[in-house]
Amino acid sequence: MADLPDLYLIADMAPDLVAALEQRFTVHRGDPPATTRAICGGGSSVVDAALIERLPALEIIAINGVGYDGVDLDAAKARGIRVTNTPDVLTDDVADLAIGLWLAVERRIAANDTIVRGGGWNVPLARRASGRKIGIFGLGRIGQAIARRAESFGGDVLYTARSEKPVAWPFVPDIAALADVCDVLILAAPGGADTREIVDAAVLKKLGPGGVLINVARGSLVDQLALVAALVSGDIAGAGIDVFADEPEVPDLLKTMSQVVLSPHQGSATVETRGAMAALVLANLDAHLAGKPLPSAVL
Ligand code: NAP
């Protein structure tokens, strides 16, 4: 049997996916050999120019996630290296989680669960979720799925993105203006240089003392120190956070706050979606090895 091509695995993957990769490749987890033809990573993986340069035989970077902000696309493009991700199959789950985090914050679901588990019963009053003004930052696949869910709660839905979309929801020119008019700011845009810490102290101040921030995008979108400060001072009312600046590190102060719901970057973490993502990773790698068009190519 011919030698299998070399693949560098740079993130933890489900055992089924690893087994499927091992049927197709010699999988390396430590030091990748110069003969490495493929990298497989997750949405938070870093594939920078230095790594790409170290691997002269590299042909494809397959990301098991939709976000690829850790991949140096310019360096990959310069070498003609293909980059794939797993869009669409995770959209509904991430949107469901955004709505779940929002409801959990407004209705104190996690905080009151803690009270009941501690033997308590009389709990502080929560705040109504229905009828609130929802602002969505990034109206792509996930942002639109969030908007469709959010409008069923009877409030207004508004959004901002790089460009206005042909949708019924009103477009607001930038995130500061969006934070100013909405009660709930939900982040659903990619990470990267353009969005780094776009939610800063000024944006949080505009969101205001009744405002809630929900982040299912990337931790890099938020100035995390400013967020903690805004929650401490009451500049905003609460937050639901699935993604953090320095995962898996979570600021200790956030863990003490009952107005905050913490989530371990689990937007796509359902049995169904992780299975579909794994199938798409393999479909991309198989298509590449067979010289066929890639099902979901970024590059
Ligand atoms: P998408 O379809 O590409 O949508 C991205 C949206 O963000 C687009 O509307 C885009 O606007 C907007 N956008 C991009 N850069 C922007 C900027 N600088 N300012 C304002 N808006 C900007 O992506 P998606 O599939 O919805 O995924 C969105 C992100 O969710 C991913 O990149 C990933 O980081 C995150 N995610 C998180 C999880 C999780 O587990 N929590 C899971 C999956 C994905 P235009 O259309 O105008 O360009």
Q: What are the residue boundaries of the structural domains of the chain, listed by start? A: 6-89+271-289, 91-262
State if residue 93 touches ligand 1 by the CB under 6 angstroms criterion.
no
Verify whether residue 218 is a known catalytic residue: yes
H-type alpha helices, 107-135:
109-117
Verify whether residue 151 is a known catalytic residue: no
Q: Residue 11 above 80 pLDDT? A: yes
For 80-93, write each residue's pLDDT tens digit.
999 999 999 999 99
Residue 49 tokens read as 């120019």
H or E stretch covering 137? strand 134-137
CATH number given to 91-262: 3.40.50.720
Using alpha carbons, list the distances in angstroms from residue 94 to 29, 71, 91, 141.
Answer: 28, 21, 5, 10
The class of domain 6-89+271-289 in CATH terms is alpha beta
- What average pLDDT does the structure give for the chain? 98
If you average pLDDT over residues 155-169, what whole number do you get? Answer: 98
If you average pLDDT over residues 103-109, what whole number do you get? Answer: 98
Residue 266 Cα: closest atom of ligand 1? 40
H or E stretch covering 147? helix 141-150
pLDDT at 281: 98
Residue 216 Cα: closest atom of ligand 1? 41
H-type alpha helices, 151-257:
175-181, 201-207, 224-233, 252-255
Q: Do domains 6-89+271-289 and 91-262 have the same CATH topology?
A: yes
Structure confidence at residue 1 as a pLDDT band (50, 70, 90): low
Instruction: Report whether 244 contacts 228 (CB < 8 A).
Output: no
pLDDT at 40: 98
Residue 32 tokens read as 């990748």
pLDDT at 57: 98
This prediction's pTM: 0.98
Q: In angstroms, rounded to a whole number, what is the distance separating the alpha carbons of residues 295 and 72?
A: 21
Q: In angstroms, rounded to a whole number, what is the distance separating the alpha carbons of residues 43 and 27?
A: 19
Q: Residue 123 above 90 pLDDT? A: no
Three-class DSSP category at 293: coil
Q: Residue 197 above 70 pLDDT? A: yes
Instruction: Report whether 221 contacts 187 (CB < 8 A).
Output: yes
pLDDT at 31: 93
